[in-house]
């Protein structure tokens, strides 16, 4: 489920008679994947057998800057891990959440505070109230979808950048 607060009007697009231009969920996902550079992975595990590790490794291999956020590890995939989103010293485009739903509200609040553009809740991570708060703050929300699977489906259409 995706949503964007970014809608235009016919005044913004004089060549159209549409009152509002709304992108499909698929278009929003493609747009955020295409325009993002840095992904903070909250709950990124140092255990190579965990989904978070596999997903982050893939994202790094296709050129995204990965920032691990996990207070239980100091480094993952050669990147320094931070205890909290608020400790990350670089701008974050996407906050990818690999935590149980009860932890999502605090993560969403932190994502809003750091100025992230998108909150991405992985498969099985669903929290409607937190999603609404993120949308109200202007963030794109992707919920219950795997960023690895969504990127893989679009891989031939997305630019591949050299790993950072």
d(Cα 149, Cα 114) in Å, to the nearest integer?
26
Q: Which residues contact 138 (CB under 8 A, 6 or more apart)?
A: 5
Q: Which residues contact 127 (CB under 8 A, 6 or more apart)?
A: 101, 104, 105, 108, 121, 143
Dump pLDDT digits (tens) for 27-83. 899 999 999 999 999 999 999 999 999 999 999 999 999 999 999 999 999 999 999
Query: Domains in the chain, ordered, with CATH?
Result: 24-154 (3.40.50.720)
Residues 61 and 163 sit within 8 Å (Cβ to Cβ)? yes
Dump pLDDT digits (tens) for 93-135. 999 999 999 999 999 999 999 999 999 999 999 999 999 999 9
In a 3-state reduction of DSSP, which class is residue 11?
Answer: coil
At residue 154 the predicted structure's pLDDT band, cuts being 50, 70 and 90, is confident
Would you say the C-alpha torsion 50, 51, 57, 60 has a positive or negative sign?
negative
Length of the chain: 164
Enter the pTM of the model: 0.84
- Compute φ and ψ for 70, nearest 5 degrees: -165, 115
Give me the mean pLDDT over the 16-32 stretch. Answer: 71
On the 0-12 / 13-18 / 19+ scale of CB atoms within 10 A, 123 is middle
Written as six digits, the tokens of 155 are 């891989």
Instruction: Using only the alpha carbons of the chain, give its radius of gyration.
Output: 16
Q: Which residue has the tokens 């919920």?
A: 143
DSSP string, 28-72: HHHHHHHH--EEEEET--S-TTSHHHHHHHHHHHTTPEEEEE-TT
């Amino acid at each position: 489920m995706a949503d964007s607060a970014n809608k235009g009007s016919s005044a913004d697009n004089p060549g159209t008679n549409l009152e509002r231009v709304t992108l499909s969920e698929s278009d929003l996902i493609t747009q955020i994947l295409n325009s993002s550079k840095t992904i903070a992975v909250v709950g990124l595990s140092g255990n190579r057998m965990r989904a978070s590790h596999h997903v982050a490794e893939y994202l790094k291999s296709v050129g995204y800057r990965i920032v691990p956020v996990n207070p239980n590890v100091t480094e993952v995939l050669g990147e320094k891990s931070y205890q909290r989103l608020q400790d990350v010293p670089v701008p974050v485009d996407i906050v990818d959440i690999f935590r149980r739903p009860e932890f999502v509200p605090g993560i969403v609040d932190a994502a809003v505070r750091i100025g992230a553009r998108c909150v991405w809740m992985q498969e099985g991570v669903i929290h409607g109230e937190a999603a609404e708060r993120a949308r109200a703050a202007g963030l794109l929300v992707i919920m219950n979808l795997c960023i690895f699977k969504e990127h893989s489906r679009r891989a031939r259409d997305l630019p591949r950048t050299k790993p950072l």
